[in-house]
Amino acid sequence: MDTNESCVPPGFRFHPTDEELVGYYLRKKIASQKIDLDVIRDIDLYRIEPWDLQDKCRIGYEEQNEWYFFSHKDKKYPTGTRTNRATMAGFWKATGRDKAVYNKSKLIGMRKTLVFYKGRAPNGQKSDWIMHEYRLESEENGPPQASSSSNILAY
């Protein structure tokens, strides 16, 4: 058996809500707590092209069109706050407004939508690859935690 393949029971489908991704999976990952079932892999998003993610992040059934993974944010400059979202073949560009993620009425995180562009900015060619990046909110109305990023790729 391939070590990259998760062991999940037959018929298992992983389709968590935004609230579950932030409130359970991401919160436990940031706190270094055990997650009950190993269904979200750790990867280095900036060393993998979007079309190679399926093999690394698939959870056990072929028809899955969403892949889930944890990846640390890469900084453009060591002392700065700008995020580096470039790969060898292109870059992930944020689009639209961030969407708030709530647990009941409490803000627990934010979801950012990114689109992959082939080539280099500002002349990159837009692709069909879309990713949602989730982050925890450290306090209600407070700034997000810099290292608390989980990425979800959907095609």
**98-123 pLDDT tens trace:** 999 999 999 999 999 999 999 998 89
State how many domains the chain has: 1
Residue in 2, 42, 7, 27 with CA at minimum distance from that of residue 135: 27
Residue 101 lies in a domain: yes
Residue 39 lies in a domain: yes
**39-75 pLDDT tens trace:** 888 888 888 899 888 777 766 555 567 788 888 877 6
What is the structure's pLDDT at 110? 93
Residue 129 lies in a domain: yes
Residue 1 lies in a domain: no
What is the domain extent for residue 94? 18-154
CA distance 108 to 5: 30
Residue 3 lies in a domain: no
For residue 139, give the CATH number of its domain. Answer: 2.170.150.80
Q: Exposure pattern of 2-17 as b/e (b: 16+ CB <10 Å)?
A: eeeeeeeeeeeebebe
Tell me the two tokens of residue 66. Answer: 């969403």
pTM of full prediction above 0.85: no
Tell me the two tokens of residue 145. Answer: 């935690």
Using the structure block, give the residue that is written with the tokens 């209600």: 140
Residue 9 lies in a domain: no
8 A C-beta contact, residue 14 and residue 21? no
Residue 128 lies in a domain: yes
Residue 4 lies in a domain: no
Strand partners, 41: 69
